Structure 1
Amino acid sequence: MAALVFVPAAGQAASWQDWQFNGFGTLGGVYHHEDGIEYRRDVTQPHGAQSGKLDLSTDSSLGGQLSGPLTDKLSATLQLVSKLNDSNNWNPRPTWAFLKYQFEGDSSVRVGRLLLDLQMRSDSNGIGYANTPIRPALEMYGNIRPEVYDGVDVTLVRPLGQGLGRFKLMAGDLYGDLTLAPGAVLDMRHKPFISGYLEYQQGPWTGRFSARHLAMGDATGAAELREVLRQAGAADAAAVLDSANQTINFYGLGVAYDEGNLQGSAQYSVWGYNTRLGGPDTHSLLLESSYRLGDLQPYVAASWAWSKRDYVATGLAADNPLNQVALAVQQGFFSNQFSFTLGSRYELTPQLAVKAQVDYLDVKDPIVLLETAPSPSRRRFNVYSLSLDFVF
């Protein structure tokens, strides 16, 4: 990070008076009454909102950003964010720490610590005030993590026909752990990836095609479990649980509309596991819309995630307890869940907004949610959320 300060000036010198500090944060509360479920906003959180308890950690965060020019073309940004992280604490972490070189127009290259550009209608993933709903749809965005990485991104923007074309390429090493189930943590630190998208905007319409390729890590205790299965003669089941050094391919399509008071988008994505872990592909679909009525902005969304429940049998005797262990691990990678969201955002001031949101969930195989007590049947329940978002 010292490079952000001690960079030799090149070209026209920039004034330190042009540097700016901005802050942002969210105070959020989540409540639900579904026993055996901890509700999370994404898979980096080690725990979530428990049944019957008001939770203030799921959506709350506080961040600060320092940015400014070093020359007429070169700038630096440092952003620290405190939120519930994968280490189960609130220690501030750098989510941005990069140098940016600006070409003509909106084209640029950035090097350092960066965030994946995930959301189609917002490039400010962690700033609640910059987004309409309290949190991104779990079924579409909750498992696309970690989003912090060390590397580079390149953005090229050019006029194309009557619209504007944009190409963005991101590459580097991911930073963070993912909690897949209670006690099961997937180590994604220093896992390489490459990601990018092609986008075309004309008038109120925007279309995007995105792709991502990343390496997987290994889950807590997976190596020991694989060895036990191999020794028991269940080589196929052991291979299913071998995620280390395997890869995932992601593809997405989306279209968005934004004109006047009306905004909306339709997005589809598919995850393809290049390993037997998790079985078939996981598909996601998101439909969302909002409408501004002065300072009030009601919104609605529906999102799905689905995959086939294809299991690989261990081949062991029916009463062998390893069968249930292997089954539970495989099931943790299936996703069959639906959410319907109703909410509203109210702009109190140009720097302060309050939001209220209700989510109805229909869950067969939970995605993002932590299931602390398995249910023999589908889960159907509501989640109630309030948030106060601010910038300064």
Structure 2
Amino acid sequence: MTSTRLLIALLAIGASSVALADDPATEPLWHFGGFGTLGAGYHSQEDVVYRRDLEQAGGIEGDKLGFRLDTRIGLQASANFNPRWSTTIQAVSRLNSEGNWAPMLSWGLVRYAPTDWLELRAGRLGADIYLEGDSRHVGYAYTAARPPTEVYGVVTQDRFDGADLTLRTPIGDGLGSVKVYGGQSRGDFYLYGQRVTQDDATTVGATIEWANDTLTLKAAWADIHARGDRSLVELRDALASVPLAQAQLRASQIQTSHHITFAGLSARYENGPWSLQGILARETFSQFPRYSGWGSSVVAGYRIGAWKPYLTWGRISFEPDDSALTLPAPAAALQVVYDRVVNRLTMNQRTFGAGVRYDFATDYALKVQIEKINASSSSILITPSGLPVRDASLTLFTVVLDFVF
């Protein structure tokens, strides 16, 4: 379903919901708002493009002042049709996998809450795998200039067209909730100079969360299942034609169906001027040769009036399974292709950063940040032609202005 058709369907469902409700129909109360980020960044590492996630077809190039990485604008409209029915629509324009700023529909949902403890939503939704799952693109919601790339930048198929169900109940001095969701995946990524998307993929997931005034704890799991990925079929056929048992075995391991699985534990602590947030995530990708690894991040800050200095740390290790293969000399060209495919998503990257946030006016925040990034291998850092970067080290300077309205 296209974004336009989905939007029309949501408005039709929302309008008809008033007539279906038991409460007397009233005129919907619409609210309009938005958010945005104006960002600039610089690093001096030649032939390296720094991007904040795998979806972006570009970012900040070496020795050039860049404005594309963090800059974005989002618009949102919501309406309450009655105490039980509501709708929310959100569109975001940001640098995407095609290298342009075409707006995307990030939310487009109808919400039904028959009781205080039950909520059902349907439409365009976000995969709920982060603490800020409902505000991933809202820079103002984050302490730092951007969420740590080593965790937040890896899973980009984070939208889906489907439904979710949330149950809530008081637990101790806080509120507990359980959510389950599923639908057709949306989202893509940019790698090796091309956009990769899988329209036949489905997303399912679940979260458990507990929060009180100072502490939030969350456990999340999500699985994206793609069924018609033919990107490695030519390699499979080429390996199958080599008269070598090990090559035949590797060919048999290449499938057109695969899973991307995310499982994470995260926590946020806010008490007085202190704030601390961390996440530990396990990620697997079952496409040949199967990758698995860990991503983790920590953001700590201390508010002094309108100023909030902070520190950030991120780490990712994402490695392929053992898939050693030595082809005979006549297949030297195929060996090069095979070695590149095996290591195409290998990532070993860490970042340490420091910055300060200045909330100089209501709904406005200015952030200045410096980060040291070291990567022995990375698919988040790319060359100007889109290839993954190996053995890179750079210092990134960032200034962003975040706002909401």
**Same fold by TM (over 0.5)?**
yes
Counterpart of 1:175 in structure 2 is 186
CA contact (8 A) 1:118 1:125 kept: no
- Secondary structure, counterpart of 1:321 in structure 2: helix
Letter in 1 for 2:339: L
Counterpart of 2:3 in structure 1 is none
Match of 2:248 among 235, 256, 262: 235
CA contact (8 A) 1:45 1:179 kept: yes
Give runs of aligned pairs for residues 286-365 of structure 1, distance below 5 A.
Answer: 286-308=297-319, 310-317=321-328, 320-365=332-377
Match of 1:256 among 265, 268, 274: 268
Residues in 2 aligned to 1:143 and 1:271: alpha-carbon distance in whole angstroms:
9
Match of 2:11 among 5, 11, 25: 5
Report sequence identity in percent.
28
Deviation of residue 198 (structure 1)?
A: 0.8
- When residues 267 and 306 of structure 1 are mapped into structure 2, their CA distance, relative to the original with a 3 A threshold, is same
Deviation of residue 316 (structure 1)?
A: 0.9
- When residues 190 and 299 of structure 1 are mapped into structure 2, their CA distance, relative to the original with a 3 A threshold, is farther
Counterpart of 1:386 in structure 2 is 399
**Runs of 5+ consecutive residues of structure 2 not aligned to the other structure:** 1-6
Residues in 2 aligned to 1:272 and 1:223: alpha-carbon distance in whole angstroms:
21
CA contact (8 A) 1:215 1:247 kept: yes
Letter in 2 for 1:289: A
- Secondary structure, counterpart of 1:2 in structure 2: helix
More helix by share: 2
Counterpart of 1:98 in structure 2 is 109
- Secondary structure, counterpart of 2:135 in structure 1: coil
Give runs of aligned pairs for residues 1-392 of structure 1, distance below 5 A.
Answer: 1-6=7-12, 7-8=15-16, 9=18, 10=21, 11-16=23-28, 18-105=29-116, 107-121=118-132, 123-183=134-194, 185-216=195-226, 221-233=231-243, 234-239=247-252, 242=254, 244-279=256-291, 281-308=292-319, 310-317=321-328, 320-371=332-383, 378-392=391-405
- Secondary structure, counterpart of 1:123 in structure 2: helix
CA contact (8 A) 1:195 1:213 kept: yes
Deviation of residue 22 (structure 1)?
A: 0.3
Residues in 2 aligned to 1:117 and 1:294: alpha-carbon distance in whole angstroms:
32
Q: Deviations over 1:32-70 (max 9, x none)?
A: 122232111111112222111122111111111111112
Q: Deviations over 1:123-175 (max 9, x none)?
A: 31111112222211111111111212111122221111332211122211111
Letter in 1 for 2:261: N
Residues in 1 aligned to 2:100 and 2:76: alpha-carbon distance in whole angstroms:
21
Q: Deviations over 1:217-269 (max 9, x none)?
A: 677853223323332343344455x3631113221112221111111123211
**Bigger mean CA offset, 313-322 vs 136-145:** 313-322
**Bigger mean CA offset, 293-302 vs 364-373:** 364-373
After superposition, the CA RMSD in angstroms is 2.4
CA contact (8 A) 1:175 1:190 kept: no
Letter in 1 for 2:238: V
**Bigger mean CA offset, 370-379 vs 164-173:** 370-379
Residues in 1 aligned to 2:229 and 2:378: alpha-carbon distance in whole angstroms:
18
CA contact (8 A) 1:31 1:383 kept: yes
CA contact (8 A) 1:186 1:220 kept: no
- Secondary structure, counterpart of 1:235 in structure 2: helix
Residues in 2 aligned to 1:307 and 1:95: alpha-carbon distance in whole angstroms:
27
- When residues 377 and 197 of structure 1 are mapped into structure 2, their CA distance, relative to the original with a 3 A threshold, is closer
CA contact (8 A) 2:369 2:397 kept: yes
| TM-score in terms of structure 2 length | 0.88
CA contact (8 A) 1:237 1:313 kept: no
| TM-score in terms of structure 1 length | 0.91
- Secondary structure, counterpart of 2:336 in structure 1: helix
Letter in 2 for 1:72: P
Residues in 1 aligned to 2:232 and 2:53: alpha-carbon distance in whole angstroms:
22
CA contact (8 A) 1:186 1:219 kept: no
Counterpart of 2:4 in structure 1 is none
Letter in 1 for 2:204: I
Residues in 2 aligned to 1:388 and 1:353: alpha-carbon distance in whole angstroms:
6
